[in-house]
Amino acid sequence: MMIISSPHNPVGKVFTAEELTKMGELCADNNVMLISDEIHQDIVFKGYEHICTSSLSDKIAQNTITCVAPSKTFNLAGLGFSALIIPDEDKRKKFQKYMDTKGIHGSNLLGITAGEAAYKYGKPWLNELLAYLEGNIDYMENFFKEHLPKIKMNRPQATYLAWLDFREYGYTQKELIDKMVKEAKLGLNDGSTFGAGGEGFMRINFACPRSTIEEAMKRMKKTF
């Protein structure tokens, strides 16, 4: 099995059709089931377009399970509503049988109702959200360039999470976390939890009021 996060978390990359096709065909040709986690698919910024992996070809679709939910986009995680799209009938029956043996029988009514309302009526709100999030990205990007040039931000193409590179400071991961938590008083995500390649990095959630971002940048500047 291969699991991909599309758009990608934590680096915020939107995969191209060519990239997804290569991954999808490689998996299908080698009997490797592809799990495509597309929970951030609605939060994509100007100039980029999310492509559902299963939409690329029937061959890829029959070998792919797509994970979706309104929870990231519309902040509905507490209502516990998500869905798996399994085009292959045999895989779908096997999955349903397993769910039944575990006594898991689907989402709750409130979650389904909220998810339906979000998808039906949430587009105007989502458009405003995307514009606001891009404004937060611009603010952080400009702030780092002007005040903290050693911190490199990978500008996200999607999601509300930014991947920050602190490696120029030369800190160990423990030193970096200690400075962030104990001195800056900020609770960013530890990059090493994403694997060995994440050492020297931290992830920041910028889905918040601009004033919160401004305060976070001020604290980072004072500390670093």
- Which of 50, 114, 126 shows the shortest CA–CA distance to 82? 114
pLDDT at 108: 87
- pLDDT tens track for 54-72: 999 999 999 999 999 999 9
Confidence of residue 147 (pLDDT cuts 50, 70, 90): very high
- pLDDT tens track for 95-107: 999 999 999 887 8
Q: Which CATH class is domain 124-223?
A: alpha beta
- pLDDT tens track for 161-198: 999 999 999 999 999 999 999 999 999 999 999 998 99
Buried/exposed code over 92-131 (b: 16+ C-beta within 10 A; e: otherwise): eeeeeeeeeeeeeeebeeebeebbeebeeebeeeeeebbe
pLDDT at 112: 93
pLDDT at 114: 95
In one letter, which amino acid is 96?
A: Q
Instruction: Break the chain into its structural domains and give their ranges.
Output: 2-121, 124-223
The CATH fold of domain 2-121: Aspartate Aminotransferase; domain 2 (3.40.640)
- pTM here is 0.91
The span from the CA of 190 to the CA of 202, in Å, is 5
